[in-house]
Amino acid sequence: MKKQRLREKTQADVKKSKQTTFDRLPKQKSTHPIKNPEKQILIAQLKHTIKEEELELLVIFQLLPTQKVFSNVMLEIFFDDNKLNTYLINIPPSQLLSNELEFPIKMDMKNIQPGEHAIKVEMTEPGSTGKKLTNTTQYSIIQYTPVRRQDRYVKVPIVQKIEGAFRIILPHEKELYQKLQKSRDQELKSKKEQW
């Protein structure tokens, strides 16, 4: 009797806990596809610092929504309407990302003429079909004046040569100098008399 009760109980437990297989999938409720919120790139600032034969550019931008969606951003930089470089930036979704992201760029400015120059930054997020999901552009006009190492030195003239026989005598040396001058004069006088 105990064995039969144990079998019945085990069969009841097995019926309740049957594992789902492909032929017995649970019925799913109809769900609407989740729409990605509209992506947007905002360039907050273009900061620049002019150094010796170098220009440091800092692109500060925001991705909306930052924390929820993986982003591939293409950043193109132009200098006086000439394309310099293209960077592909992969940004994973993360709750740890801040609202503002920074991308530093260093440009070699050797042989660049001083004056006004236009810098253009274009940020694009290409879609899987090749269509641009979002695009933004920002311009900055910089006044470029090269900083040379010589410009940072303190400019003090160097005395090359003093013409004539000048000597600066301090007050406590004056007596000694006068004694030396007297003895020299006497020596010259005695030499003249000997001739």
Residue 156 counted as domain residue: no
Residue ranges in the chain whose pLDDT is less than 70: 1, 10, 12-37, 65-69, 95-96, 149-169, 195
Query: Secondary structure of 19-30 in the HEC alphabet?
Result: CCCHHHCCCCCC
Is residue 101 assigned to a domain? yes
Domain of residue 45: give its range: 40-148
- 105 lies in a domain? yes
pLDDT of residue 66: 59
What is the total count of domains within the chain? Answer: 1
Whichever domain contains 59, its CATH number is 2.60.40.10
> 42: which strand partners?
62
Residue 29 within a domain: no
> What is the per-residue pLDDT for 33?
46
Domain presence at residue 11? no
Distance, CA of 77 to CA of 103 (rounded, Å):
12
**Rounded distance between C-alpha atoms, residue 181 and residue 187, angstroms:** 10
Residue 185 belongs to a domain:
no
Please indicate, yes or no, if residue 161 is contained in any of the structural domains.
no
pTM of the model: 0.55
For residue range 82-93, what is the model confidence (pLDDT) as tens digits? Answer: 999 999 988 877
Cα-based distances in Å from 147 to 56, 115, 133, 155: 13, 13, 41, 15
In a domain, 106, yes or no: yes
